Amino acid sequence: MISTKIKEAMQQGSAIRDMFEKGKAIKAIYGADQVYDFSLGNPDVATPASVDEDLRFALAQAVSHGHGYMTNAGYEETRRVVAEREIKRSGVPVEPEGIVMTCGAAGALSIIFKSILDPGDEVVVFAPYFAEYRSYVQNAGGILKVLPTKPGEFLPDPNVFKQAISPRTKALLINSPNNPSGCVYDIGTLTALKHVLDASGQSIYVVSDEPYAEIIFGDTKLPSIFALFPNSIIAYSWSKSLSLPGERIGYVACNKTCEDYENLISALAYANRSLGFVNAPALMQRAVIAFADKHVDPKIYEKRRDMLYNILLDSGFSCFLSQGSFYLFPQSPILDEEIFVDECAEHRLLCTPGSAFGMPGHFRLSFCVSEETIKRSASVFHTLGKQYGLI
């Protein structure tokens, strides 16, 4: 018999998988090109050709120097390049020693929480949030405390945060640009959160999950977490910025001013090993030396966002204009958005219910699809808008 614990966890997390299975079934019937699949955050924009070249070069290097183990934190040269990247992003000092290379941002978050949480410790996150956070926190014995955001704008409310802090609060988890809302936390909001942290008199880590950092639209600015929060840790991956999610390459960066800095670095490397990651894939670590600062053109996603956003408005939907990421998170026309999402599937339009992100009443559209697919989906959204009396 498998573990009762994992059985229960699997049952809880089945909404997205159900949709995935339903999507597969629908595609099998109608053909994949007849389905409008907005359900997957699997970037379809091609990896830049220069990055393919970096990968070829990295492979040649690996053939000469081998594919052996390195220290659990990663190749020194890779960590040096990543530290420089973080200095450029933040303007504050970042040391190569403060970098631990990981199997993507998921691996990064998993080892961060394993390193900082004792059983019963709390991690605060604002809804909507990426559902897997709960797994990473629970795997370390922690408790994910989900707080509401300000209605309609998806921004954290500092007062709500203040009231939620308990003696067991160990970390504030931030994800901006946000999956699924596309909200980017402005400097005012972040500064207000910082005041709450300062006034708490507690040591609370700010853990910032930043896989969408380069996918930013218009003149939106992404404030530096390192520059604002001395006690901060960044989780990053090139999964979205270079369309490399299958390759599992990312890192943890520790602010030099963060608490228990040296022990934290040791703990991260230890957790990398003891959870079974051991180290980030060696070949990708070699390639990072060349591609660390590269990213796909965010304008590609911005154009899609505009197209899809306008279709939604034309069809009567109410939607926050995403400032980054590749998601839109419109309001469901009915309270129970899972019923609405099922209805969408009847029209061969696949999306994800907001309840999967701790925020019912909304649904997530991922625009990792061609402009052509977005264009063709207009008639379906229009039909749905009419059906639900939005237009």
Q: In angstroms, what is the minimal distance from the CB of 44 to a second copy? A: 8
DSSP label at residue 34: G
Please work out the total of residues on this chain that contact a second copy, with binding judged by CB under 8 A. 76
- Residue 366 sits at the vertex; the CA angle it makes with 148 and 126, to the nearest 5 degrees, is 15
**Which stretches of 31-128 are DSSP H helices?**
49-65, 76-90, 104-116
Residue 129: half-sphere exposure toward Cβ, Cα within 13 Å:
24
Among the listed residues 274, 310, 370, 387, the single contact to a second copy using CB under 8 A: 274
The interface mask with a second copy, positions 2-31, x = CB under 8 A, is xxxxxx-xx--x------------------
Of the ranges 160-168, 207-215, 278-286, 294-302, which one interacts with a second copy (CB under 8 A)?
Answer: 278-286
Of the ranges 215-223, 279-287, 346-354, 359-367, which one interacts with a second copy (CB under 8 A)?
Answer: 279-287
Of the ranges 117-125, 159-167, 293-301, 328-336, which one interacts with a second copy (CB under 8 A)?
Answer: 117-125
Residue closer to a second copy, measured from CB, 134 or 362: 134
Residue closer to a second copy, measured from CB, 44 or 306: 44
Q: In angstroms, what is the minimal distance from the CB of 55 to a second copy? A: 6
- Taking the C-alpha atoms of residue 262 and residue 273, their distance in angstroms, rounded to an integer, is 17
Range 37-56, binding a second copy (CB under 8 A)? 40, 42-44, 46-47, 52, 55-56
Among the listed residues 151, 152, 167, 276, the single contact to a second copy using CB under 8 A: 276
User: How many residues in total does the chain contain?
Assistant: 391
Q: Read off the amino acid at residue 313.
A: L
The burial of 242, by beta-carbon neighbours within 10 Å (0-12 exposed, 13-18 middle, 19 or more buried), is given as buried
Range 77-116, binding a second copy (CB under 8 A)? 103-104, 106-111, 114-116
Q: Are 116 and 264 in contact (CB under 8 A)?
A: yes
The interface mask with a second copy, positions 165-204, x = CB under 8 A, is --------------------------------------x-
Sheet holding 327-328, edge to edge: 327-328, 363-366, 352-353
- Taking the C-alpha atoms of residue 50 and residue 53, their distance in angstroms, rounded to an integer, is 5
Among the listed residues 19, 35, 267, 351, the single contact to a second copy using CB under 8 A: 267
Residue 67 is a binding residue for a second copy (CB under 8 A): yes
Residue closer to a second copy, measured from CB, 9 or 147: 9
Tell me which residue of 219, 230, 220, 135 sits closest to 184, measured CA to CA. Answer: 220
The burial of 153, by beta-carbon neighbours within 10 Å (0-12 exposed, 13-18 middle, 19 or more buried), is given as exposed
